Each structure stands twice: as structure tokens, then as C-alpha cells.
Structure 1
Amino acid sequence: MPSDDAAGPELVPVPVRVVLPADPLLGTDPQEVVARLWKRQQTETGWVYLVGLPSFRDREDGGVEAAEYRVWVRAPEHVRPVEGVDYDQVVTERLQPSPQSAVREVLGERRPSGWVLQKVSVGRGPAQGVLHARDCEEAPKDAPLLDWKRDLDVAENPATRLCTLCGCAQELTPLLRGFDHITDSATDDS
């Protein structure tokens, strides 16, 4: 069958091994048969392959003839390559990346959520610390992630400083002092 641009690329089958499921009622184990691979398609949940399994069909004159049963199967669970076969010629449809939202384009990738505490020792006084976003380059890499209640408790402690490098101070201060202080400080400067 010739290929034309409106119909898409020409399908050229190549051999592939298909793993048939076991049948507990018949007491059979999984089996592999050589089938024809017609097409590969990437989906959001993985790859599926259109394979043609050898079959039979009834003819109008009462006879039986060889046929092919085409079905989509999951890869790699249900297909295996045949040694020496070049699969580059198989029509392959890759999943197109979803367009980024306008918000994601403007703001960039979302940072991982959560905060970590960097403990700072200053001699014999009370323990002090610096609260960082977990992806802050100043944050200790082995520090445990704090849950949100512990975040606020630590942030309220006068011995804790909120990191300005990663934006911890800008994000947590409204939660600690309320949002009104933002507008109050803006009017005080005028």
C-alpha cells in the first residue's frame, strides 16, 4: 500500500515476540508467539504496540484460511524483540508534550514544597537556627523536612532566622504576622 501524506506513513510490519497470558483454567503457562508489529504508540501510561497475531478465519465456501488478528498490547510487558530485527522502520507515534500553562511559563517550574532547619551553634546560649526552603543552596542536605505546623512553630521562635536567599522570609512572614502588616509597611514608607 503506497503512503500518501493525508493517510500518514506506510505501515510496514516486522516480527516481534508477543507474550500470551497463562490460562489457569487450562493449566497453561505464558507462551511466546512470533507476531507482526505494525505500529508503536506512546500514551500517558506507557507504550502500546499494535501487533498482528496469527489466526484462522472461516471462508464462505466452508474452508478455513490463515488470517491475522490485530490487537494493541502493552510494552514491554507483552512484547519482546526478535534478535536481529531493526525496529527503526516501525511507525512510531510519540506523545506530544502538553503545552505549558501561561502561569508556568511566567513563574517557571514550581519549587519543591517544605522547609528545613539549619541548626547554628553560638556557644552556650540557646540553640539558634535558620529556616530554609528545602531546595535552598544554603540548606543542609541531610536535614529532615518539617511538617507545616512545625515550620510555623520554628519560624515563630525568636532564635530562628528566616532565610532571605530562598524566599523563606517572604513566604512565611505573612503567615506569622498576618497579611495586614504588608499593607501597613507599604503605607508607612510614603
Structure 2
Amino acid sequence: MSDPKLAPLSASAWPDVLADLENGFAGQLNVYRTMAHHPALVQAWANLRQHVVLDTSLGRDRSEVVILRAAVTLNSDYEWSHHVHRARALGFSDARIAALRGPTSDMNAEDAVIAGAVDEVLALARLTPGTLAALTDLVGSKGVLDLFATVGFYSTLGFIVNTFSTPIDDEIAQSLQADPLEATAQ
């Protein structure tokens, strides 16, 4: 019987068809090295990743709020760890990051609207009218659609890393071990 766990592919096992992506996003992180077991999926993923990660109308800060809240809801230590690192690089305080793990009442007003929307999308597969109105006021209609796309994108990544126990990348693990997340004043 074969082992159903898909380990991140090593450089020596990297598919030739993905050679152009090995030195880019796909070769840099274990989640994409795991996805590389399905080269056509990684190739198709590239354009969506470009939009969701880099070109989103949400902007980088709001996008990180979406991703961190989705990581919490999906119990994805991999995505949480990677995005704590990224949020810190964007200037988020540890308290702001830590608040995204808890109730929306403990968050700043903008983060609470976004996190509440993520919660609803993952729990209900939709937004209630009140949440939709608040979110639209905050990010506009394109932002609402980008929130859906971001939640879907990171849910897929969460499913992959959780199912295959994809290890947190060494650089991220070492960074968080050296500087653990602390809940300090925002």
C-alpha cells in the first residue's frame, strides 16, 4: 500500500514542467513543494496566487487579517506561522496579531469587520446582510469578492498542509522560535 502523505518535493524531484517556477513562489515554500506533486495544479494556481497575494484590492494589511483569521478557523499552524511572520514584516503589533485568534470584540473596529466576515464565510458559506453591508462600506464590492477569493485560496492551502502535515518552513519556524508571538499592547 502506498503512503498517502505527500511530502514537499526536493530539488532533485522537482518536476521538469515546473522548472520555470522552482526559483519563484512555487519552489520557495513547503506548501507549494507539496502541491508540486500535481504540476498542472501549480501552473493553474500561479495566476490566482498573483491576484490574491499581490494584486488584491484589499491591500496587504487587510489581506493579512483575512489570512490570519482563516488560518485560525482552519487550525492551520502552517499558515498561521507564515502569516504571523508576514504580518510582523508589515508592521502589525503582536497584540493585533494575537487578537485575531480571539473574539471580534477584542479587535480594532476594522479588523473585527473583516474577521467577522471570514468567520461567516467559513461557517455559513455566505455573508449575512449586515456583515455584507459593513464589509462593503469598508472595502467596496471588489474587496468583498477579493475576501471570498482569499478565504477560498487559503482554505485550499490549509486543507493541503493540514492533510499532509506539511512542515513549517525552517526559516519561519526558527524566526518564531527566536521571537515568539506575545500579546502586548496594540
Is TM (by shorter chain) over 0.5?
A: no
Higher-strand-fraction structure: 1
Structure number with higher relative contact order (C-alpha < 8 Å, ≥ 6 residues apart): 2
Query: What is the TM-score with the length of structure 1 in the denominator?
Result: 0.24
Query: What is the TM-score with the length of structure 2 in the denominator?
Result: 0.25
Higher-helix-fraction structure: 2
